[in-house]
Amino acid sequence: MGVVTYEFEVTSLVAPTRLFKAFVLEGAKVYPKAAPHAIKSVELEGDGKPGSIVKINFVEGLPFQYMKHMIGGHDESNLSYSYSLIEGGPLGDKLEKISYENQFVADASGGSVCKSSIKFYTVGDYVITEDEIKALIQRSEVVYKAIEAYLLANTDACN
């Protein structure tokens, strides 16, 4: 097994506290509303604390039926959270898991920056390429931008 770490940032016009709330605290209800073309439903197995499982079910026609995340934790005061993709989605037979650490920080324009560190845990001696990593990140950014657009269109959401 190998581990590859990749870091990236995504900017947003939305304040960091609203994004944190949309992604972490209210994700189960926000995701299907923000991305109905991709996300059918979100289920929580557990109490939402570290070790709980979040199952995201996708609409038919997408490459994946579902994916499961294990919650690592979140810190409301620092607007940070962590989780690991442990089943489904892009894991296949080449990735054991993908772990994410994210933090929303304010920027000078009143919006925010999401700083992410991702660790890809490969199976056996498989080496993930930078192109594969970028393709996985692009999929994540599509959902990120859908949630941003939802929050911009629904100013009363996640306040």
Domains in the chain, CATH or no CATH each:
2-26+72-153 (3.30.530.20)
In the block, residue with structure tokens 């920056």: 113
CB neighbour list of residue 7: distance below 8 Å, 6 or more residues apart: 115, 116, 117, 118
Q: What are phi and psi of 51, to 5 degrees?
A: 100, -20
Which amino acid, residue 136?
L
Q: What are phi and psi of 46, to 5 degrees?
A: 125, -165
Encode the chain (159 residues) as per-residue pLDDT tens digits: 799 999 999 999 999 999 999 999 999 999 999 999 999 999 999 998 999 999 999 999 988 999 999 999 999 999 999 999 999 999 999 999 999 999 999 999 999 999 999 999 999 999 999 999 999 999 888 889 999 999 999 999 999
Output the pTM of the full model: 0.92
Report residue 120 as tokens: 């890809």
